[in-house]
Amino acid sequence: MGRLWFAQKLLSHRGKQFIFSYCPRLIYSQTGVWPITDDELSHSTKKEIDAFWKEKYKRFGQEPIEDKDDGGSKGKKYVLSMFPYPSGKLHLGHVRVYATSDAMARFYRHRGYKVVHPIGWDAFGLPAENAAIDSNKMPDLWTHTNINQMKEQLQELGCNFDWHREFATCNHNYFRWTQSLFLRLFQAGLAYQKEAMVNWDPVDQTVLANEQVDEDGCSWRSGAKVEQRYLKQWYIKITRFSKSLLNGLSDTALENWRDIIKIQRHWIGECGGYRVEMDVAEEGHSSAGTNQRLLPASRLNLWMTQPELLHGISFLGVHHGHALDTEAHRGHCCGGHQLLKVHAICPLSQREIPIIMSDSLPYTEDTEAYVGIPCASEEDRDISNNFGFTVPHVLENGRLMNSGELSGLSLAEARGQVTQKLMEKGAGGFPTSAKLKDWLISRQRYWGTPIPIVHCPSCGPVPVPEHQLPVELPKISHFPKRGISPLKEAHAWLKCSCPRCGQEGQRETDTMDTFVDSSWYFLRFLDVNNEEQPFSFKLQETFMPVDLYVGGKEHAVLHMLYARFMQHFLASEGLVSHWEPFKRLVMMGMVMGLAYKVKDSGRYLTKDQVDFSVKPPVELGTGAPLVITTEKMSKSKNNGIDPQKVLEIYGTDTTRLLMLANFAPASARNWSEETFPGIFSWQNRLWMTVTEFIDIRQNKDPNLTSISDKERKEHEQYLWNARNHALSNVTYIMEHTHQLNAAISFMQALTSSLRKVPKILMVSEVFEHALAAQIIMLSPITPHFASELWAGFCSVVTCSSLQKEVSLMNQPWPEVDKDYPLPLRYFIQGEKPQQVKVPRRMLDHLSADQALQLISAFAFTASWRPQTL
């Protein structure tokens, strides 16, 4: 009856004379008439609201903020969500991340900040190449098709990204600068090639970094058991910044990093030693530098707790199975150790140092080689004497001797000089842990950023000149089977001239790990069209660091460690002004779903394969018992939910609300329809509140129950308190803790308060202010639904202090009333935190001394004084 009545009223309102028929458009923004009905808010109406306002807001926030006048701005806020791999479809984990970042960006805009909220695509990687092999399509076609699909989904989700900043890492105007940054690393001695034991994924046929192998020794992506192989690979010397990265974790500007700090500290390890790098040569190398036969890509990375004893090294030791362990290199044995027919070269004295192979030496865990120093170890002296090695005597009475220009120095004095000289020679010298390894970036695949190196038979590895970048990927008509890099068969692309001598050489056929692409993307977002440099110094100085970084906690080691390294490197080069790229983190928990597993076989079933007619449920058709668990949503467990289907049923804003309510961002989010009715009920109560407010304001119903002045004042005070209580808490949460579920709870409580007072209060200014605050606070979470409520609300408001002519998206965030008492929290050492209530007008201007006096007056006897405020 409600819809029929409204359709009749609509026809009468417009003064049209025609035969009555059902009108499907029931929203105020399309009709100019608010539907005054008792009907519950339907999903179809909510979807109609979404569609109208999405179209309306298409261009909102798309103007470059660099061009805007700074007048009235409170400063900048850079809100960044980890950009997605374009797999073709969003999953609910994506929805959670992007709905959160969008809500925060919208909140900051309401607060008056200049907001950067970009989006792009982490577009290189194995899935695209594997899809190309399976479907015989080019990876770029597959990738860009998926990008278009996912962009539509993000827009369907109502995310207000800065689309003018959009890029994909596979675009040449992006990876051209990734290659440029690689060349900077190479020129700084931080990118190098070395033959080493690597983790080989037999399914994806490529190398994995240590961080990409799980605790069971399986690939993070394919799940295959990882094999160990020796291959020549490209590395980035992330260990050079071990101390810097470790110290950076103590930066007081980092907020909400607690768990991530623990993870990264553990991964980096304590920097209790120093890196020393030595070249390796075959027998016959002369210390005078003639007749050198250095082994290519065989430099040893040593870890020494006392680098000042460098001249006291008698031998080095390596494990069996090391890259130097070849038939040609094996020499005679002595005492269970085997001498190798190669030697290391001391970087300071050019002295030849023998290398033995042994598994019984007391290697420091996670190190490549053992350093034998007889003056510091009886066991080392015995081994040296047995082999007849030179035993340098370099230490006497705490001072060095027989150590060249270091002789006569104390150990502490010598350490500084040794490490400095090693660094000058590019042979280590920097503090690091034994635990952290250099970053392996080589991938034996096609779809990645080409490494800009030419291998020349005369010059060795030569960097491609900057003006010749980008090195583009060749077009390939077909992909060979896995196990063969397609680039090795692109003969026309492979052959090129050496940039240094002009002789014919070959391009590097490995491509970069995609984590290199994502190690600096947050800087490019600030200057996406710059063709002269990766980014403008001025823009990064203005908008960095990222104020709020939203993403999955699973990236705490891999991506975030590499991104921090790149930022530290760029800071050391003077290219950026901040050492830490991310100020505050919002790490999202996984989205979980019910999984149905056959008890005996462990096979996962889809929901429609389960018989729910019996208790407990069993497998449909067989009656086999099941194990029902809550697990991370995935295709393999048949418990994933397609967000597109959720959007089709409930609409954009309801989907956002379902995802953000009830669970803290960092916690695992159980996706269960049992939580939905509470959300639907709240939306309906909000809708009915605005409906009744409009109806009463328009009609001034004389049948409203009157109340006494005393009751009216009591109810107005109640609403005033409810508004300020909700507003102060929601504002604090959005600004500081980002627990959107808690903010939603406070908003729900305010709705209950609005509906609790007599309806006659709806004509009051206090009710008007409370409802206005309710709608504006809702706006970041459900922008389209809130916009419809605001449009209806503004059609009947009378208070001049409300800016009803301004669209909801541009409304200033409401302020807590000046007389509302806010908590001033304090604690006495050893005591529980306490608080006193202080009117906001006083709290806004309270100095530390005034706060101490106030607390003393309220909370302490003469013998107690607060230790910390």
Alpha helices (H) along 369-424 = 378-387, 411-424
DSSP assignment of 263-326, as one string?
HHHHHH----EEEEEEEEEETT--TTS-S--BPTT--EEEEES-GGGGGG--EEEE-TTSTT--
**What is the pLDDT at residue 290?**
46
Distances (CA, A) of 430 to 26, 237, 299, 370, 433: 70, 11, 16, 18, 10
Closest CA to 211 of 485, 438, 449, 451: 438
| Alpha carbon distance 378, 384 (integer Å) | 10
Token pair for 141: 């076609």
**What is the pLDDT at residue 287?**
45
Helix (H) or strand (E) holding 507: strand 504-507
Instruction: Give the three-class secondary structure for 210.
Output: helix
The residue behind tokens 């102060």 is 728
Which residue type sits at 742? A
Token pair for 497: 């001239």
Distances (CA, A) of 683 to 7, 45, 447, 725, 792: 23, 12, 46, 21, 15
pTM score: 0.89
| Alpha carbon distance 829, 833 (integer Å) | 9
**What is the pLDDT at residue 844?**
72
**What is the pLDDT at residue 3?**
39
| Alpha carbon distance 44, 650 (integer Å) | 8
| Alpha carbon distance 61, 800 (integer Å) | 27
**What is the pLDDT at residue 833?**
76
> Which residues partner with 496 through β-bridges?
505
**What is the pLDDT at residue 25?**
53
| Alpha carbon distance 444, 233 (integer Å) | 10
| Alpha carbon distance 225, 336 (integer Å) | 33
Q: What is the DSSP letter of 475?
A: P
Instruction: Give the three-class secondary structure for 586.
Output: strand
Rg over alpha carbons for the chain, rounded to the nearest Å, is: 34
The residue behind tokens 């490995």 is 510
Domain architecture of the chain: domains with CATH: 2-56 (no CATH), 72-175+519-587 (3.40.50.620), 176-237+439-515 (no CATH), 270-432 (3.90.740.10), 591-670 (no CATH), 673-810 (1.10.730.10), 821-859 (no CATH)
Instruction: Give the three-class secondary structure for 837.
Output: strand
Who's near 863: CB < 8 A, 6+ residues apart?
A: none
| Alpha carbon distance 329, 339 (integer Å) | 9
The residue behind tokens 């600004």 is 735
Specify whether the backbone of 521 is left (phi greater than 0), alpha (psi in -120 to 50) or beta.
alpha
DSSP assignment of 127-169, as one string?
HHHHHHHHHT--HHHHHHHHHHHHHHHHHHTT---BGGG--BT
Alpha helices (H) along 575-708 = 643-650, 652-660, 676-699
| Alpha carbon distance 525, 535 (integer Å) | 8
| 3-class SS shares of the chain: helix, strand, coil, % to 5 | 40, 20, 40
Please, are residues 226 and 218 in contact by the beta-carbon 8 Å criterion? yes
Token pair for 662: 């009830």
Distances (CA, A) of 354 to 173, 289, 314, 387, 817: 49, 17, 7, 10, 78
| Alpha carbon distance 558, 868 (integer Å) | 38
Instruction: State residue 371 phi and psi, 5-degree precision.
Output: -110, 115
Q: What is the DSSP letter of 736?
A: I
Instruction: Give the three-class secondary structure for 661.
Output: coil
Helix (H) or strand (E) holding 124: none
Angle between helix axes 765-778 and 676-699 (nearest 10 degrees) is 140
Who's near 830: CB < 8 A, 6+ residues apart?
A: none
Could you tell me the strand order of the sheet in which 227-236 lies? 206-208, 191-201, 227-236, 439-440
**What is the pLDDT at residue 850?**
74
Q: How confident is the model over 296-307, as pLDDT tens digits?
A: 778 999 999 999
Token pair for 237: 């010397």
Between strands 504-507 and 511-512, the pairing is unpaired
**What is the pLDDT at residue 543?**
97
Distances (CA, A) of 641 to 95, 519, 635: 11, 31, 9
Grouped pLDDT means (10 residues each) for the chain, 869 residues: 39 36 65 86 95 89 63 83 92 94 97 97 89 81 94 95 97 98 98 88 79 80 83 94 97 91 94 96 60 77 96 96 90 93 95 96 94 95 95 92 93 96 96 95 93 96 97 85 77 96 96 97 98 97 98 87 98 98 95 89 89 92 91 82 93 97 90 91 97 90 78 95 97 96 98 96 95 98 97 90 88 92 74 76 75 70 41
Please, are residues 723 and 769 in contact by the beta-carbon 8 Å criterion? yes
**What is the pLDDT at residue 635?**
73
Who's near 494: CB < 8 A, 6+ residues apart?
A: 487, 488, 506, 507, 509
Cα 241 from chain centroid?
21
Please, are residues 121 and 185 in contact by the beta-carbon 8 Å criterion? no
Token pair for 466: 């900057």
Neighbouring C-alpha atoms within 13 Å toward the C-beta of 455: 11
Token pair for 684: 């309906």
Q: How confident is the model over 449-490, as pLDDT tens digits?
A: 999 999 999 999 999 999 999 999 999 877 766 556 789 989
Cα 844 from chain centroid?
34
